[in-house]
Copies of this chain bind each other. A is one copy, B any other.
Amino acid sequence: MEAAFRVLEILENADGPMSGEYISNELSISRSAVWKHVKELQAIGYDISASQSEGYRLTKKSNRLLPYEVHKNLRTTVFGKKMRYFESTPSTIAVAKEMCGSEDPAKLHGMVIIAEEQTGGVGRMGRVWVSPTGGIWITIILKPRIPVDHVFMVTMAGAVAVARAIRKEFDLGALIKWPNDIYIGDKKVAGLLLELSAEADNIHYCILGIGVDANISPHELTSSVTGSVTSISAEVGHDVDRASLLARLLKEFESRYNLIESQEYDTVIREWKSLSCTIDQHVRISTLKNTFEGVAIDIDEFGALIIRKDDGRVERVIAGDCAHT
């Protein structure tokens, strides 16, 4: 495909149609190779008109979330420089785990796995994560050099990045709901899931799955999701450029991640809190062991929510379900 994208680049930069002869000269390939590459590009969603007299013309770019399109907008140093793309895969998290099992995770740091659709997407606690075409379903492989007990700061950095990216790209008031969902108003639009392989003082790898309901009709999601959901396209009234959103998200994430690596936890915590719709809310928390209600008053550097319970006592919750009541 590499050569096909060189053809694409010429068509993108052209003012009008480009002759097969020009492209073939430019890339030192045969005219039949040019034609083959045009067919490849058409197959992945680029509208390219071909006329005997005029040549080739790009009339509409692909609406797939192709690495080529993301890279055009990507302003990161490491994150997303390497990508793997799937039209369909059971779960990008599963792909990432497999990769970390067979390659040195340190060499995979910053790798982003993208799928147009996931056929077996998972959310927290093994719940189903509906992931139809139109969303952003990615997993980022990370090799953090931070203490294991601070690893959930990575999820916090990710949540800040997703909320910021949605805000900056679309001027939508995205907020973070603890522990790892992104909401617009009272409707969920995105979620994160962190998986970890570690020993006490050594994180082998952590992989952050991010799902954003970008160009999806909320009807496609509601059947199997509890609570209200929305999508970016539903909020802004038209399909959006997912590649540009993903590039922005990765840039926002990389800068917060770097803060964590420098142990500047406070900066990320402050930003998380300023974007949180959970802090100061009355909530009902369900953990593995019990359920209780109270007001969420703070979050600490381990990602734990601090609750002032209705009976006045203060409780710290590292993980659980949280309902705003």
**Are B149 and A200 within 8 A (Cβ)?**
no
Query: Would you give the 0/1 interface string for A189-203, flagging 1 where the beta carbon is closer than 8 Å to chain B?
Result: 000011111111110
A132 to B17, CA, bound (A): 72
Interface string of A50-82 (1 = CB under 8 A from B): 000000000000000000000000000000000
Q: How many copies does the complex hold?
A: 2
Minimal beta-carbon separation of A21 from chain B (angstroms): 54
Q: Which B residues are CB-close (under 8 A) to A304?
A: 149
Q: How many residues of A contact B (CB 8 A)?
A: 34
Distance A180 CA – B204 CA, assembled complex (angstroms): 19
B148 near A318 (CB under 8 angstroms)? yes
The reply to whether the CB of A125 lies closer than 8 angstroms to some CB of chain B is yes
Are A124 and B202 in touch, CB under 8 angstroms?
Answer: yes
Which chain B residue shows the least CB distance to A286?
B201
The answer to whether A319 and B196 have CB atoms under 8 Å apart is no
Among residues 111 to 134 in chain A, which have CB atoms less than 8 Å away from a CB atom of chain B? 124-126
Contact of A147 among B124, B199, B202, B319 (CB under 8 A): B319
Closest to A321 in B: B201
Binding site for B on A (CB under 8 A): 101, 124-126, 145-149, 152, 155, 179-180, 193-202, 204, 263, 287-289, 302-304, 318-320
